[in-house]
C-alpha cells in the first residue's frame, strides 16, 4: 500500500511537473546544480510563529509568504502538527509547492511530533511508531524537502533506550532511503539532549541518511518530577559541548533564541561561540531561526535573531 502511494505521488508529480509539484522539480535541480553558499544560509522554523498560527492569525499555507515578505527569508522548516490532517491530500501539498515555487522559497524539512516513540522498548509499539512516520517521509519527498526531524523518546535505561533508538531510527532510515529523505534527530529532551548518547546512537545506526539537527537550546536531560517539558531542569548538558559533539552528524542546525539585550545579543546563548563551533565543523548549510521568547513578539524576535546571525556571519566573512 505504501509503495502504491509512493508511485502515485511520483506519477502525479511527473504528469503535471510544471504546475503541481514544483517541490520535486526544485529538489532535482538542487541535487544537480549545487548553489554557491556563504558561511551559512538562514531559514525559518515554523514553530517561531506558533502563537500566530494557533491563534488563527496566520494559516499554515501563508507561512511561506510571511517568511519571504515579512522577514526576507527564502527557506522554510515546517511543523507537522500544522497540517497533520492534510498530509495525505496531494492537492493540499500541491498548493504548498505552488506557493513556494511562486515565491522562490525552498522547503527544507518537516519537524515531526506526536507519531509515537521511536525508542520505546516494546518492539510492537516501536514498529508502529516507525510506520506512523512513513507518511511524513512521503510528504517530505513530495515537497522537495531533504529531511524529516524526529524524536528519540522512549523508556528504560540509557542503554535500553539507546538500543531501541538504533533499531527505530534504522528501520525508518531504511524506508526513507528510497525516497532520498534524511531522518534527523534534534536534541529535544531526555537522552536525546545527551550529545554523547545521541552520538553513539548515530554511530551504531551508521546510515548516510540518518543524522542530527543540533539545537542551541533543549539540552535539559532530566526535569524535576520526570516531566518532559514542565518543571525545573535538574540535569543539563553543556550546550556548547553538545552542539560540537552533534555537528559531525548534522544535516541542519536550529538557532534557538529567547531574549536579547540592548546591543542585540542573545542573553541566554552565546551565538557567536555557537556559530564558530558550527563553522569549525565545516558546516555551511542552513541555520534555522527558532524564536521561543516572550519579551519580544514573534515577528520582532525572528527579526532580532536574523540580524544577530547576519552580523556574526559578516564578522566571520570579514575575518
CATH architecture label of 2-30+42-318: Alpha-Beta Barrel (3.20)
Stated pTM of the model? 0.89
Would you state the cell numbers that stand for residue 225, as one nine-digit string?
A: 518530577
pLDDT the model gives residue 3 = 38
Q: Answer left, alpha or beta for residue 186, where phi above 0 means left and psi between -120 and 50 means alpha.
A: beta
Residue 308 has pLDDT above 90, yes or no: yes
List the chain domain ranges. Answer: 2-30+42-318
Cell 529532551 appears where? 189
pLDDT tens digits for range 236-289 = 999 999 999 999 999 999 999 999 999 999 999 999 999 999 999 999 999 999
pLDDT tens digits for range 154-184 = 999 999 999 999 999 999 999 999 999 999 9
User: For residues 130 and 175, what is the distance between their CA atoms, to the nearest angstrom?
Assistant: 9
Would you state the cell numbers that stand for residue 61, as one nine-digit string?
A: 499555507
The mean pLDDT of the chain is: 90
- E-strand ranges in the chain read 41-45, 75-79, 106-111, 147-150, 182-186, 210-213, 220-223, 233-236, 253-257, 286-291
User: For residues 115 and 130, what is the distance between their CA atoms, to the nearest angstrom?
Assistant: 8
Per cent of the chain over pLDDT 90 is 83
Q: Would you give the DSSP letter of residue 83?
A: S
pLDDT the model gives residue 317 = 87
Amino acid at each position: 500500500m505504501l509503495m502504491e502511494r509512493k508511485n502515485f505521488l511520483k506519477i502525479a508529480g511527473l504528469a503535471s511537473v510544471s504546475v503541481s509539484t514544483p517541490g520535486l522539480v526544485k529538489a532535482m535541480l538542487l541535487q544537480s546544480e549545487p548553489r554557491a553558499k556563504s558561511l551559512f544560509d538562514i531559514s525559518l522554523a515554523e514553530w517561531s510563529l506558533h502563537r500566530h498560527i494557533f491563534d488563527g492569525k496566520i494559516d499554515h499555507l501563508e507561512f511561506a509568504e510571511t517568511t519571504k515578505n515579512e522577514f526576507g527569508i527564502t527557506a522554510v522548516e515546517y511543523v507537522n502538527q500544522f497540517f497533520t490532517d492534510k498530509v495525505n491530500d496531494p492537492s493540499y501539498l500541491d498548493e504548498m509547492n505552488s506557493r513556494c515555487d511562486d515565491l522562490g522559497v525552498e522547503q527544507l524539512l518537516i519537524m515531526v511530533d506526536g507519531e509515537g516513540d521511536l525508542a520505546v522498548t516494546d518492539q510492537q509499539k516501536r514498529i508502529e511508531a516507525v510506520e506512523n512516520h512513513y507518511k511524513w517521509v512521503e510528504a517530505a519527498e513530495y515537497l522537495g524537502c531533504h529531511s524529516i526531524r524526529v524524536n528519540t523518546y522512549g523508556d528504560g535505561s540509557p542503554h535500553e533506550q539507546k538500543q531501541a533508538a538504533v533499531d527505530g531510527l534504522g528501520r525508518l532510515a531504511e524506508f526513507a532511503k528510497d525516497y532520498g529523505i534524511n531522518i534527523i534527530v534534534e536534541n529535544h529532551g531526555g537522552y536525546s539532549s545527551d550529545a554523547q548518547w545521541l552520538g553513539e546512537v548515530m554511530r551504531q545506526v551508521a546510515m548516510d541518511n540518518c543524522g542530527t539537527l543540533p539545537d542551541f537550546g533543549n539540552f535539559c536531560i532530566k526535569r524535576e518530577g520526570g516531566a518532559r517539558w514542565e518543571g525545573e531542569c535538574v540535569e543539563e548538558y553543556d550546550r556548547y559541548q553538545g552542539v560540537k559533539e552533534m555537528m559531525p552528524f548534522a544535516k541542519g542546525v536550529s538557532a534557538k533564541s529567547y531574549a536579547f539585550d540592548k546591543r542585540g545579543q542573545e542573553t541566554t546563548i552565546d551565538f557567536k561561540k555557537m556559530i564558530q563551533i558550527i563553522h569549525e565543523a565545516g558546516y555551511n548549510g542552513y541555520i534555522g531561526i527558532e524564536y521561543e521568547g516572550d519579551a519580544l513578539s514573534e515577528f520582532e524576535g525572528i527579526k532580532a535573531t536574523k540580524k544577530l546571525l547576519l552580523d556574526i556571519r559578516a564578522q566571520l566573512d570579514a575575518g
